[in-house]
Structure 1
Amino acid sequence: MAKNVTKKKLVRKEYTASDIKLLKAHSRARTPVTKLSKMMKRSEGSLRQKARVLGIGLGHQR
């Protein structure tokens, strides 16, 4: 018997210009990624991927 399990719907949130500005500011300030992810309400992976696409470092240890 298979259980009826519903999957959570994936909702993507676009990066706005102000999000990118904030990400760059925290990159310069070397804010830890865990703190930044809670502040921006995005996953660490999402922030790291976006930083990589923008060509900026992220986190306090690079």
Structure 2
Amino acid sequence: MSRKPNNSGKKWTPSDLRRLKQLSRTTDTPDIAKVLERTESAVRTKASEEHISLKPKDR
């Protein structure tokens, strides 16, 4: 079984959201999850809630 990230259950801060928006432009979802120490599912869910596209534009 996978280890839970350190942020498990932690609320998203404004700083986390800024970082998510920034990373979503150029970074794949699994890598965003690692940087933010969140699960891929948590990243996808929050991105959807915030209307943030997770399709990197600058490859």
TM range (shorter): 0.7 to 0.9
**Aligned residue pair count:** 50
Unaligned runs of 5+ residues in structure 1 are 1-10
The alpha-carbon deviation at position 39 of structure 1 amounts to 1.1
CA distance in 2, matches of 1:49, 1:12: 13
Decide whether the 8 Å contact of 2:24 with 2:52 is kept in 1: yes
Unaligned runs of 5+ residues in structure 2 are 1-7
Match of 1:27 among 24, 36, 40: 24
The alpha-carbon deviation at position 59 of structure 1 amounts to 4.0
Larger Rg over CA atoms:
1
User: What is residue 6 of structure 1 aligned with on the other side?
Assistant: none
Q: Does residue 55 of the first structure (1) align with residue 46 of the second (2)? A: no
Tell me the TM-score normalised to structure 2 length. 0.74
Tell me the TM-score normalised to structure 1 length. 0.71
Backbone CA RMSD of aligned residues? 1.6
User: What is residue 4 of structure 2 aligned with on the other side?
Assistant: none
The runs of at least 4 consecutive aligned structure 1 residues that moved more than 3 Å come to: none
Matched residue type, 1:19: D
CA distance in 1, matches of 2:22, 2:51: 14
